[in-house]
Structure formats: C-alpha cells, structure tokens
Amino acid sequence: MTNDATHKTWSGRFDEPVSERVKRYTASIPFDWRLWRHDIQGSLAHARMLAKQGIISTEDLAAIERGMAQIAQEIESGAFEWSLDDEDIHLNIERRLTALVGDAGKRLHTGRSRNDQVATDIRLWLRDAIDEIRSRIRTLQTALLGLAEQHAATPMPGFTHLQVAQPVTFGHHLMAYVEMLERDWERLTDCRRRTNRLPLGAAALAGTTYPIDRWAVAETLGFEELCRNSLDAVSDRDFAIEFLSAASLVMMHLSRFSEELILWMTPRFGFIDLADRFCTGSSIMPQKKNPDVPELVRGKTGRVYGHLVAMLTLMKGQPLAYNKDNQEDKEPLFDAVDTLNDTLAIYAEMVAGIRVKPEAMRAALQEGFATATDLADYLVKKGVPFRDAHEIVARAVRAAERQGIDLAELPLTTLQQFCPQIEEDVYEVLTIEGSLAARAHIGGTAPEAVQAAIAHARARIAQRG
C-alpha cells in the first residue's frame, strides 16, 4: 500500500495537508478494499444511467467502462496500487480511473456522493454475503438430515435440566437443529429483502439537481426497491444491524449444538465421537482428544454478539444524516460474515463425520426412569386422574430406585400394589421402543414421525431453494 502525496478531492477548502497520523487513523482502505467489485459494479450502473439521461456523453461512458475493466484486471492480478492518501476504496478506484481515461473519470462522480456510494456498495456486498450464508445453511441442514435419517430409530435420552427425561431418537434430536436453521434461513431471507434497496441517488443527503433515473440503476443492479428518503438513505444501517442480529441467532444455535457435542463426546456420556480432523490433543496429556471446533464455535459466538452490540452502539447517538462514525460499520460486518461462513462450512463437514454410539445412548436411558411419563399416561387411559397417576408413578419410581432397577423390571404384583388398574399390558409402554412408537404425531419422536419430518424438510428445502 502506497502513501504518495496526492491532491485530495476536497483539498481546495483547506490551508494545510492532513497529518500522517490522522491520515492513518481515518483511512478505511486497509479493510474496505474488499468492496472493490461492488464499487465497480455500482459505478458502472451509475455511469450507464448518466449516459442514458444525457448527463455524460456516450464517449465518456465507453472510456469509463474501458477503464473499469482494466482496474478490475489490475486488482485481481495484484498489480493495483492502493494508497492511504486516497482514504477509501472509492477514491482509490476513482484516482486510477482518472489516470487511465482522463476527464471521463472525473465525470463519473456527477450526481452522487461518497455517502450514497458507500451505502450502495455495502448493500451490494451484504446481499451477496447473505446469499452465500443461506447456501451454507442449506448444506449444513442437508448434512444433519443425512445423519438424522441414519438414526431416525436410534433411541437416546431426551433431557430437561440435563436430567434424563423421556426417550427420543437421535434423529429427532438432530431435526430440532434443522428447524432452528430453517428459521435462520427465513430471517436472512427477510433481511435480504430490506437490504436490497437502492440508496444511490440520495447523493450527500439531499438528492441531486441532475435528471437521474434511480429506477434504471436499481434495475441494473438487481435492487427490488429504492430508499425513499435521501436523509435516511445515506445514514441507514438498520439492514446491517438486522443482519448481525440474524447472524447472532445462527451462532447461538450452533453454540447450543456445540455444547451438546462437547458433552456427548465426554466419557461420562460417550454418545458420539468426532472425527480426528476436528479435534486436537494435549501438550502434556497424551490420552486427550479435545473437541476444539465446537469449543471455538462457542467462543466465536460471543465475538459475533459483540459485533451486534458494537453496531447498535455506533448508531444510537448519530443525528441525521451521514457521519464519519459510519466508517466503523464495515469491520464488524466483514468479520461477522467471515466468522459465520467459516463456522457453517466447517460444521457441515464435522456433522457428516460424527460417529454415533447407540449402546451408550441406550444405557443412559436405563438410568433415568425415562418411561415414567408413559406409565402415567397409561394410568390416565385406565381412568386414573392425571394428578393421582403422577403420584402413583412417583412412588413406583422410588421403589425401583431403592432396588436399583428400571421401572420395566418391577414385577407386575409390585406395580399393582401402587395401582390395581395396572395389567400385563403395562410392559408394552414401559419399553423404550414402546415409548417412542406411541408418539407418532407430527413433531413427535416416533421413528415414523421422524422419517416424515425428514421428508418434509427435504421437500421444503427443494421448494425454497
């Protein structure tokens, strides 16, 4: 990155140059360079509109298009010289364009400001980022669905308060995360709609005196709507805050899953094993296999939360319209997108490599009287009021606990001491498979219900894309 002394676009107003320290402090080119494709895309759409409206000549447009093509090639090849003196991505490209095509490059900025230009660039960039993230969510969902299908009938304990509660299947448990991710996909889709509004044409804050055609630019760039107020257009960052909120929710869901994977991988649970490539060892304890990826996901979730709070804080005290504070919107946004993309990509690979240990899951079910609720439901169906049934089962659990056996191992005569309505058929509901099979409704954990949920999710993904 160069630091050549150049003539600022606004330097005519000032008697002395900006100090080197201030130049470094205020420049955004070290991070906003990554907007270059979208800056060129927006500038070309603007130039074509200016030519169509007769504001610049067709010769100027041809020169601008030729110059932008060369700039894009230089940036892609690494030959482009970035300069701190040009402050940001917009002035760096404009400076090079003017050097290449002369006065035509100087005419490009007619009818716009860096205020509406950067707002347009960020929206274009975030729109593409949202599309990539939504695609990665689909990839992760597909991995979860594949694993869920393999284990649609694999029993495991369902927990409340981290205590064994009722039998579920591992496939059913995984489908809960498919549903969370579907809501995430929906939120991002909705966020994209509000992101996809064109601010260009607002100029600095009050619009422009030139006869511009904002709808023509919007159509060229694929925007669905215009930002309807020039003051709001240049100062609005709601779309970025909304994205960070949606991103935080995605990370929260993955962090919850991470916590479960970490617990399930410990010898105390022993429900699963993660592939070695997602784990590390200890520098001192040779037996260790640490679930580093899930642990880092938990940590990086706080990082994304921090970006959301930073952006809310950035905007909370700003008067209309644009303020230099808004330069600070990019780094949190960029980092959140990078973190989320990387997390989703690595999670999809990791899920596909999970090795399930059904025996350990079944053993854990035997330890927590997981079919106690099934016994209560059985008694209700025999005419016992639910509150009475609850008390009867609680006494039966205490008896089984004292003997160190499961409810299903209590003799019929013992069970009948608690309630004479209990008959031989009670053992059908006290088995794990019986408990699972009884919950065959939509959203239930019966293997057939899980298979139906998987089919429904696949159809939904195919329909929505």
* Residues annotated as part of the active site: 161, 282
CA distance 185 to 277: 28
What six digits make up the tokens of 416? 């009948």
φ, ψ at 438 (rounded to 5°): -70, -15
- What's at 130, amino acid-wise? I
Cis amide leading into 99 (omega within 30): no
Element (H, E) at 189: helix 170-195
Check residue 83 and report its DSSP letter.
Answer: B
* 23 membership: H or E segment, kind and range: helix 20-26
Token digits of residue 10: 């606004």
8 Å CB contact between 211 and 123: no
From first CA to last CA, the distance across the chain in angstroms is: 41
Question: Where are any strands of DSSP class E within 87-198?
Answer: 155-160, 163-169, 197-198
As a whole number of angstroms, the distance between CA 170 and CA 238 comes to 39
- The alpha carbon of 27 is separated from its chain's Cα centroid by a whole number of angstroms, namely 29
- The owner of tokens 């409340």 is 160
Distance between CA atoms of residues 1 and 170, nearest Å: 53
Measured from the Cβ of residue 329, the count of other Cβ atoms closer than 10 Å reads: 20
Q: Which residues does residue 226 pair with via DSSP β-bridges, in sequence order?
A: 198
- The number of beta carbons lying within 10 Å of the beta carbon of residue 136 is 19
Dig out the tokens for 462 from the structure. Answer: 């195919």
Give SS3 for 271: coil
d(CA 416, CA 223): 71
Q: In this structure, how many other beta carbons lie within 10 angstroms of the beta carbon of residue 122?
A: 23
